[in-house]
Chain A
Amino acid sequence: MTDATATQITVENVDKHYGTFHALKGIDLSIPKGQFVALVGPSGCGKSTLLRTLAGLEGITSGAITIEGENVTGVPPRKRDLAMVFQSYALYPHMNVRDNLTYALRLKGVPKAERAQRAEEVAATIGLENLLDRRPRELSGGQRQRVAMGRAIIRNPKAFLFDEPLSNLDASLRVRMRKEIRALHDRLNATSVYVTHDQIEAMTMADHVVVMRAGIIEQHGAPLDLYERPANRFVAGFIGSPAMNFVDGVIAEDGRHVRLGIRSNSTIAIDRTLEAGREVLVGLRPEHIALGDAQDASAAFTVGAVEPTGAVTYVFSDDEPELIAIADGISTLKRGDTVGFSIDPGLVHLFDPETEIAIP
Chain B
Amino acid sequence: MQRIAHTIRDGVGFDVLLIAFALFYLFAFAGLPILYNVILSFQQVDMFSLGSLFHEITGWENYVAVFNDPLASRVFWNTIVFTAASVFFQFSIGFALALYFNQRFPGASWIRGLFLAGWVMPGLVVGVLWNWLLSGDFGVINWVLMSMGFIDEPIFWRSDTDYSLIAVILANVWYGVPFNMILLAVGLAAIPDDLYEAASLDGATTWQKFWTITLPMMRSTIGAVIALGIIFTLQQFDLFAAVTSGGPAGSSMVAQYWSWELSFRQFDFGRGAVIAVMMIVVVLGVAAIYVRSTRQETRL
Report A's interface with B, CB cutoff 8 A.
55-57, 76-78, 80, 82-84, 86, 88, 90-94, 103-104, 107-108, 136-137, 151, 155
Take A88-B194, A92-B213 as given contacts and tell me if A77 and B299 are in contact as well, using a CB distance cutoff of 8 Å.
no
Q: Are the CB atoms of B192 and A88 closer together than 8 Å?
A: yes
How many of chain B's residues have a CB under 8 angstroms from any CB in A? 21
Query: Are B217 and A103 touching (Cβ within 8 A)?
Result: no
| Contact call A107/B202, Cβ cutoff below 8 A | yes
List chain A residues, Cβ under 8 A from B219: 94
Q: In the complex where A86-B197, A92-B195 touch, is A108 in contact with B300 (Cβ < 8 A)?
A: no
Docked-complex contact B299 and A93, CB < 8 angstroms: yes
B residues within 8 A CB of A56?
200
Residues A77 and B200 in contact, CB atoms below 8 Å apart: yes
Contact B201 A107 (CB under 8 A): no
Query: Which residues in chain B, 180-221, are within 8 Å of chain A measured between CB atoms?
Result: 192, 194-195, 197-205, 208, 212-213, 216-217, 219
Q: Is B298's CB under 8 angstroms from A93's CB?
A: yes
Cβ contacts under 8 Å, A55 to chain B: 197, 201
Tell me the dominant secondary structure on chain B's binding face: helix
Checking B198, B216, B299 against A90 with a beta-carbon cut-off of 8 angstroms, the contacting residue is B198
Partner pick for B203 among A78, A136, A137, CB 8 A cutoff: A78
Q: Which residues of B contact A91 (CB under 8 A)?
A: 198
Given A88-B192, A92-B213, 18 more A-B residue pairs with CB atoms under 8 Å apart are A56-B200, A77-B201, A78-B202, A78-B204, A84-B201, A86-B194, A86-B197, A86-B198, A88-B194, A90-B192, A90-B198, A91-B198, A92-B199, A103-B199, A107-B204, A136-B300, A137-B300, A151-B202
Please name all residues of chain A whose beta carbon is closer than 8 Å to the beta carbon of B194 when the two chains form the complex. 86, 88, 90
How far is A136 from B192 in the complex, measured between Cα atoms in Å? Answer: 15
Q: How far is the CA of A155 from the CA of B198 in the complex (A)?
A: 13
Given contacts A93-B298, A94-B216, A103-B212, contact A77 B197 (CB under 8 A): yes
Q: Nearest chain A CB to B194's CB is how many angstroms away? A: 4
The CA-CA distance from A107 to B209 in the complex, in Å, is 10
* Assembled-state Cα–Cα distance A12/B202 (Å): 25
A88: nearest chain-B partner, CB-CB: B194
**4 tightest A-B contacts by CB?**
A104-B202, A90-B194, A90-B198, A77-B200
C-alpha gap A57/B201 in the complex (Å): 9
